Structure 1
């Protein structure tokens, strides 16, 4: 495949003999994106190459493949196209459409805030992509400025389909995966781990808010704090932070970002129609407005008024106050000295100067009735009051004395009422904080700070790390009384089963043993074994001593002894023949014999000369000693018959020549081989007879 051996993609690396890797464009937590060139089709592409250390993780490989399959199903001008997916050694990659331009994040950072018209147009094009995706049954799950690309013609391209789903789960985001995009996450993902098409609309509403204001709606020191606000607070209208945003656009954003799923647009198509209609109806001057940050007013730091007795009591005993969602409007309940409830309007932003002038105007006025309600200004220790209609304001000293009087009454004569309020009444209310997905120690500390008891139970979970909270009952945001119990289900991690020792076990017996534990037996390529019988496990993978349900136990099964081809060494030198046969795995035996046709030291014959044997079997060689030498007998003057018999007995062939005509005496007068000399057995000796 690739000729390169480096595990880190480099310039000029060729993937699958097709894709030339060029300079890097971007780097993320899972992959690096390079500019690339498709050598086969001669076109520029973007190559997303998974980090080598993640390529070994099967979960990441599945996520990478899911992105390819998801995006490949979307042939749309507003979706980044995926051309190909492949593997080259330890590199897993996607070949995608290269978008020349910038991300929406880069544009927001560069410009601070976008115009109303530009924000609406980008939103509309993202919605075009989401309509196509949702029609195809795909939920993006990770809409954010980094995944929205803008080419040089300002055409929007939505990227990274399929990457927002949590590792090890099918439709949820939990733990660290949730916190990665917490600024744009919908409440239902935080509380239930569930996402559908309307979750994408919530995230897009947050992106639109950020385009207009230059900031995200919720901020916090920790991701969990931001997630908590998504669950418990409404997205503020952008016009409260910047000027120039029309009320209709405020309404559209709060509609898309409704905390309750059912209150959002029913589909991306519905929201797209609303965006297009708003773009068409807003005046051109409004569309061209780039929102500006609102200057803080002179009364912006005026402390809020509160009439809740739990805060008064908290001032007294230094105890914590129950959680109250920020920005709650309307009346706050109050308790008068006599125990009756009164309604006190929320602080309308009146400045201290206004309050002071009112006090001075009525400094000498008499007050005949005891006020029915007292309002305490809690920040910085300042206190104020609110009287029913028809009552005249007292001076600031009188207000202070009135407050002290109420405190004295509470301490001396009505402490039982305060005790009821703090232990049983509204002052004992506690809101269950967001603890799902957090380590158990952090969850216990958070609940203890809220004066709530904790009961824990453990459960195996494939998606939540061991020691982290899977769920809380009652759920996040539920109101409980002080001291009531929150039941936490804590993850024991992935349930694993011990991997049995299978070496030496028959295959079918090994399969039954593995499947009885909920695991899966996988046969790797079989091997021959000289010691393990056919059908018996030779070895097994040693990656883990325990595996989760469905985990794969890889085994190598014996094919028995391996048959080996016997090389024919007939005619070869004896030493060479023996070495060749031994190297092939055979044992060699040999003997020597004379041969008139095979040179001395060469193999006359081999048994077996061909076919196959098993390793360690014996091959027998017969090695030549050369021809056998025989002493030539003296047959001079012997009768022809006697001479022939003597020579043949010695092992020679005899040829008789009558060169004198018909023999008279019948005796040998000449022999071709000298008597007493040695000649190869089987040689021909000629005798002449007269």
Structure 2
């Protein structure tokens, strides 16, 4: 677990968590070598279990690190330590474009075109270096406190969409900005980024997203089929030029959008100078574009919906297809008739005395094969059995002879038949409680195919196998699928930090334990307000959500800070008395009575000086031989002259 103060890679000291995403957590840290603040994006534990994903994570991050542009968040470092995979980026003080839109409601033309031009410039640079963002949205645009616009997460969205690990809490926010070809699962290129930028611009000028529905799938369908609402219907103050740029960028067909981010940037610059001119060239959209094939089962019903809506538009074509199909069927039947007749004639022609036709029985059950051979009068030996990957159990794998063969008169053909025993089977290794990568290697080396499922477990550590199906030591066919269930560790249960400040130390610890939190370091310090033994502050803010088991540090009061005072006692011995028992008591404001000096003294010991410490006001009582001689008042808050 990442904790405040820990050092990553002997260089980056964690200061605080500043953000959480579907695949990573972001921390503010300090580079101890360059003495500067940085942002560290740390991959979530569940993603670290997939070696292929981690490999793509590094490759894409390193590729994105090659980008150097004033409108792109700089990536300084990529690495891993103790299975913690991280990306180090420049730390930006500011807010996301999404937050900026929420604050202002909608942006004016000037600000919209300025921000859009910065994003388009960043995309132009990335596309020139063959990097597609794939997740342009207001949440990934940072506006710094000094007004700079920065695009974040280049390359990261790409690997996230290709992950092979299923995570239950993956966010679906990006679907509101996704291009139609992405929603269909089709090829994604630089024009997909242009579409997402257009949708982002729509939100900037109107203050709302163009497509909203009850589910992500419904939103995706709207991207595919619904026309974009006219921006000026939502905000009449938008210039005509800006509206045309948004409409062109969000065309359904990629080829009808801007050819490149550079072309879009040119129009944005022109629109700033000529906002009322109609200079943007928009091609007419054709509704009868063909539906692309889906590539994932998750969007199967999107494809079905696309096909259903496309039916009326293809009615004429369907009639032609039906007619063509009938004609093709007639021709095919004719061809099959002549071919079948030729085969029949060949198989039924009179066979010479030394020729015999042996039918093919491969692929038949052994019972059907014997029945056919008996019918033809062909003998066969007792069948032999062997494992086969091609034929199911009890099906004929091979035969010793087939087709027309020549034999001597008076002799007969005897076939040898090999029958399948099914696929080869063996004992399944028991891989429970092993690290998942080691378990998968063992199963693959044993000839099995492996399927991995992830789930939480209270006992089995992260990354180890909880159980397997079939169970270990069972018999299973080679190449069959063995499913392993890998632990994601304990389910993350979040609790809100309780308010234990001004509670006693003992009571505060008891409350933390009731919430499932652990007590870390306890620091004791003076405090002029919080009484001794009470909690001054905690390392977690009240109300913050943390996981159960999180360590909370405490600061406990030792009471008010103390000051030193000097008590000087002159000779108290009466004439003729050579010595006596001198006692000095310090009575504090809280009632504590402390004996601060006791000794048998003579006249030569005076003056007696006693140093005392305390806070606030106190009373000094001086006794000689158990008789009170006098009382004084001390004020520890007074500064000595």
Which of the five TM-score ranges fits, normalised by the shorter chain? 0.3 to 0.5
Task: Give the structure-2-normalised TM-score.
Answer: 0.46
